[in-house]
């Protein structure tokens, strides 16, 4: 079975400061990892994904994420947060060896204060 954990329900950061949203995963095969962002009353927007290759993945809106196989983590990062980054962020994993199913973490609400 595959699973995703986002240990923080909410992350607060001041505008201009770096931000990190944590994600750890568990799969039996190769992990395909994704980050999505959700604004109020909206669907999910794709930010970035890791399939293979470089452990540091760059995505939309200046976000990046680092795949760490030994720690089974895929933390989302941004060097300088904007107030407009405030939203709900979801990490997701798919087992690269089997199945269609994308499993989501519980979500982390990011609050960026001016």
- List interacting residues with other proteins (CB under 8 A): 32, 34, 36, 41-46, 49, 51-52, 90, 94-96, 99-102, 104-107
49 contacts 37 by C-beta, under 8 angstroms:
no
- Residues with Cβ within 8 Å of 13's Cβ and at least 6 positions away in sequence, in order, are 19, 81, 110, 111, 112, 113
Token pair 């609050």 in the structure block, residue: 111
Which CB sits closer to other proteins, 82 or 102?
A: 102
CB of 18 to other proteins, least distance (A): 25
CB of 83 to other proteins, least distance (A): 21
Least Å distance between CB 79 and other proteins? 23
Q: Which is nearer to other proteins, 15 or 49 (CB)?
A: 49
- Find the shortest distance in angstroms from Cβ 97 to other proteins: 8
From the number of C-beta atoms within 10 Å of its C-beta (0-12, 13-18, 19+), residue 28 rates as: exposed
């Amino acid at each position: 079975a595959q699973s995703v954990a986002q240990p923080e329900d909410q992350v607060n950061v001041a505008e201009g400061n770096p931000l990190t949203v944590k994600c750890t995963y568990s799969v039996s095969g190769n992990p395909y990892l994704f980050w999505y962002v959700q604004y109020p009353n909206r669907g999910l927007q794709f930010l970035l994904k890791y399939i293979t290759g470089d452990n540091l993945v760059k995505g939309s809106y200046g976000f990046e994420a680092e795949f760490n196989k030994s720690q089974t983590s895929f933390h989302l990062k941004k060097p300088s947060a904007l107030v407009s980054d405030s939203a709900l962020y979801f990490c997701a994993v798919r087992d690269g060896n089997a199945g269609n199913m994308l499993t989501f973490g519980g979500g982390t609400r990011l609050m960026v204060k001016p």
